[in-house]
């Protein structure tokens, strides 16, 4: 069944700016008629048609390639027209306006993908993987998003759902024959199945956790006095001469955000100028921002100079760190004291000795950060996942565990059946079999326009 929308939607599908080719994509019932009007002929389905694109008065707006995909064999499941013109903003605006003139309305962000989801072309985890693939900031993240897009994650979730359904059927049959219920439930099959499902859930959860880490990355705040070597450390870690530096809008003080990655794990680094006691109001705002960033961080790196005693200012900062945010103390410039690289993770504040400038001990730091986040050595087979997926998996896990306890403690078939039903429902949220409009709205509006 196709989810028929009366609207025909249109959007520029390529990135804004100038490029060799720019694409306007149209989806909906009017796509076919629109193709005939713009091209002056009916394009052969799924064949490239090269020719002029006509405007309202028969003038040529551009020339390029048109592709027509009749539904349901299209990305959205509806009739889809793609106009591939020249990739300039004016041309694309003309083409976009032409499709609006002919009855299309501008698509909302993610609306093509949402249509594909509603028409069962993709499940929800796959649709989310499209956005994650586009947003991927590392090769590993892109690879894993592709895995999810191809259905690897959904397949594992669906297998679990199927096992839960089978077990529910078995348990509910037992409830229907009360005189045999106890035998049914105590024959070991149910307990064995439950154990098996729990193990699978743990496996999928572990893999999804890696996927979330690939997507979200680790966020660290880097602190230290001027000249301690913070910028040098960032550049050395990123393996680039100069890391991408973006100013956070509205900051009055020197907080710089950098995006680097270590072995595929995105690392969001906030480089703050310092947390000295400030008297003037502007500086105080900057300091407040720095503390706010610290509260959100996964870890704080405090950079000090190995050739100097820890400065009282740094000591004061270390003493004020929130207890729930772990701190690593980095003694930089070990070349000046001829010390070897080193790592001590046995103490509450981990310590690392390295030289940013001479690239000594950087692998210790990388390893340390990966270990602290639980980032797996190999990302082979990891699929992309989101926090909402983890949440669903964790809920499913809790329901199955509760069910297991009901069975062990009371041989309570009905309670177990209910827990299994809830676990199944939680898992179904991942692939979108159970979703609210509200959730769909939230997911798809975070997509880019034209996707």
Residues 392 and 264: beta-carbon distance below 8 Å? no
355 is an interface residue for ligand GDP by CB under 6 A: yes
x-marked contacts with ligand GDP along 206-225 as a string, rule CB under 6 A: ------------------x-
Q: Which does 224 bind (CB under 5 to 8 A by kind): Zn ion, ligand GDP, none?
A: ligand GDP
Residue with smaller CB distance to ligand GDP, 200 or 358: 358
Q: What backbone phi and psi angles, to 5 degrees, belong to 51?
A: 170, -175
The answer to whether the annotation marks 188 as part of a ligand binding site is no
Residue 17 touches ligand GDP, criterion: CB under 6 A: no
Other CB atoms within 10 Å distance of the CB of residue 318 = 16
Q: Is 339 annotated as a binding residue?
A: no
CA 337/CA 418 separation, integer angstroms: 66
Phi-psi region of 433 (alpha: psi -120 to 50; beta: other; left: phi over 0): alpha
For Cα atoms 247, 251, 257, give the angle at the middle one, nearest 5 degrees: 35
CA-nearest of 260, 254, 245, 289 to 369 is 260
What gap in Å lies between CA 249 and CA 289, rounded to an integer? 12
Which range in 211-219, 230-238, 292-300, 387-395 contacts Zn ion by CB under 5 A? 230-238
Element (H, E) at 271: strand 265-272
Between 61 and 360, whose beta carbon lies closer to ligand GDP? 360
Please state the closest distance from residue 304 (CB atom) to ligand GDP, in A: 10
CA 425 to chain centre: 22
Q: Give the chain's length.
A: 451
Q: Residue 9 in 3-state DSSP?
A: strand
> Which of 64, 71, 151, 229 is the binder for ligand GDP (CB under 6 A)?
229
Between 130 and 233, CB nearer to ligand GDP = 233
Report whether 81 contacts 66 (CB < 8 A).
Answer: yes
Query: Shortest Cβ distance from residue 305 to ligand GDP (Å)?
Result: 8
- Which residue stretch of 98-106, 175-183, 355-363, 437-445 sits at the interface with ligand GDP (rule: CB under 6 A)? 355-363
What is the per-residue burial (b if ≥16 Cβ within 10 Å, else e) of 22-52? bbbbbbbbbbbebbebbbeeebeeeeeeeee
We find the least distance from the C-beta atom of residue 230 to Zn ion, in angstroms, to be: 5
Q: Per rule CB under 5 A, is residue 231 in the interface with Zn ion?
A: yes
Note the Cα 388 to chain centre separation in Å. Answer: 10
151 interacts with, out of Zn ion, ligand GDP, none, CB within 5 to 8 A per kind:
none
Query: x/- string (CB under 6 A) for ligand GDP, residues 356-395?
Result: xxx-------------------------------------
Where does this chain bind Zn ion (CB under 5 A)? 230-231
Q: Could you list the residues known to form a binding site for K(+), using ranges.
A: 227, 246, 248, 251
Binding interface with ligand GDP (CB under 6 A): 224, 226-232, 332-333, 335-336, 355-358
Per the annotation, binding residues for GTP are: 227-232, 246-252, 271-274
């Amino acid at each position: 069944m196709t989810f028929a929308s009366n609207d025909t939607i249109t959007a520029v599908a390529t990135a804004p700016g100038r490029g060799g080719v720019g694409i306007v994509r149209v989806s909906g019932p009017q796509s076919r008629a629109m193709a005939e009007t713009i091209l002056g002929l009916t394009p052969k389905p799924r064949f490239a048609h090269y020719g002029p694109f006509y405007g309202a008065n028969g003038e040529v707006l551009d020339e390029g390639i048109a592709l027509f995909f009749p539904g349901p064999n299209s990305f959205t499941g509806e009739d889809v027209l793609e106009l591939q013109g020249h990739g300039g903003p004016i041309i694309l605006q003309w083409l976009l306006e032409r499709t609006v003139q002919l009855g299309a309305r501008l698509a909302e962000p993610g609306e093509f993908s949402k249509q594909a989801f509603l028409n069962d072309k993709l499940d929800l985890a796959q649709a989310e993987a499209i956005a994650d693939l586009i947003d991927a900031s590392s090769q590993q993240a892109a690879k894993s998003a592709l895995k999810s897009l191809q259905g690897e994650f959904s397949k594992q979730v669906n297998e679990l759902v199927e096992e839960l359904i089978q077990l529910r059927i078995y348990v509910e049959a037992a409830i229907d024959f009360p005189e045999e219920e106890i035998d049914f439930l105590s024959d070991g099959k149910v307990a064995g199945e439950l154990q098996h499902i729990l193990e699978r859930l743990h496996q999928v959860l572990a893999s999804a956790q890696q996927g979330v880490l690939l997507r979200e990355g680790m966020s660290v705040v880097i602190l230290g006095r001027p000249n301690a070597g913070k910028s040098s450390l960032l550049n050395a870690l990123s393996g680039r001469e100069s890391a991408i530096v973006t100013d956070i809008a509205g900051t009055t003080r020197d907080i710089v955000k950098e995006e680097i990655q270590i072995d595929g794990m995105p690392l969001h680094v906030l480089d703050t100028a310092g947390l000295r006691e400030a008297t003037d109001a502007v500086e105080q705002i900057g300091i407040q921002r720095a503390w706010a960033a610290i509260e959100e961080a996964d870890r704080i790196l405090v950079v000090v100079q190995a050739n100097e005693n820890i400065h009282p200012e740094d000591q004061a900062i270390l003493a004020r760190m929130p207890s729930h945010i772990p701190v690593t103390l980095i003694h930089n410039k070990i070349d000046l004291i001829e010390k070897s690289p080193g790592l001590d993770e046995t103490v509450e504040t981990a310590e690392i000795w390295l030289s940013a400038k001479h690239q000594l001990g950087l692998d210790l730091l990388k390893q340390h950060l990966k270990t602290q986040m639980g980032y797996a050595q190999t990302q082979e087979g990891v699929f992309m996942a989101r926090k909402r997926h983890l949440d669903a998996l964790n809920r499913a896990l809790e329901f199955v565990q509760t069910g297991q306890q009901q069975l062990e403690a009371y041989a309570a078939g009905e309670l177990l059946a209910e827990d299994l039903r809830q676990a199944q429902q939680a898992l179904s949220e991942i692939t979108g079999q159970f979703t609210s409009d509200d959730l769909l709205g939230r997911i798809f509006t975070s997509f880019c326009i034209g996707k």
